[in-house]
Amino acid sequence: DVKVTQSSRYLVKRTGEKVFLECVQDMDHENMFWYRQDPGLGLRLIYFSYDVKMKEKGDIPEGYSVSREKKERFSLILESASTNQTSMYLCASSLYSPWGEAFFGQGTRLTVV
């Protein structure tokens, strides 16, 4: 069974902290994505990566960075967390093709206080 695993389901962090959200996939997929989900706004793409050490900005990259040192792992980094980054974060992976199905993790609900 295909699997995308996000390291935490719920996370509470303080303003100004550096936050790491980890995502691991076991399907040998080339593409990996980080989305942010907010009520009424749907899923907005933060960053995606199509290969190890490769990354491209999505629609809302400000305040975030990413790291992909190994094919199976894609990390989202909040350099200095702010309250407006309180949200649900979803990781996904897919094959290297525009028609490939994306497989999603369960999500991490991050609260910044």
Residues that bind another protein (CB under 8 A): 4, 30-31, 33, 35, 40-45, 48, 50, 56, 58, 90, 92, 94-102, 104-107
Q: Which is nearer to another protein, 4 or 112 (CB)?
A: 4
Q: Which is nearer to another protein, 87 or 105 (CB)?
A: 105
For 75, residues 6+ apart whose C-beta sits below 8 A from its C-beta are: 20, 21, 22, 23, 66, 67, 68
Q: How far apart are CA 23 and CA 90, in angstroms?
A: 9
Residue closer to another protein by CB (options 43, 77) is 43
Q: What type of residue sits at position 39?
A: P
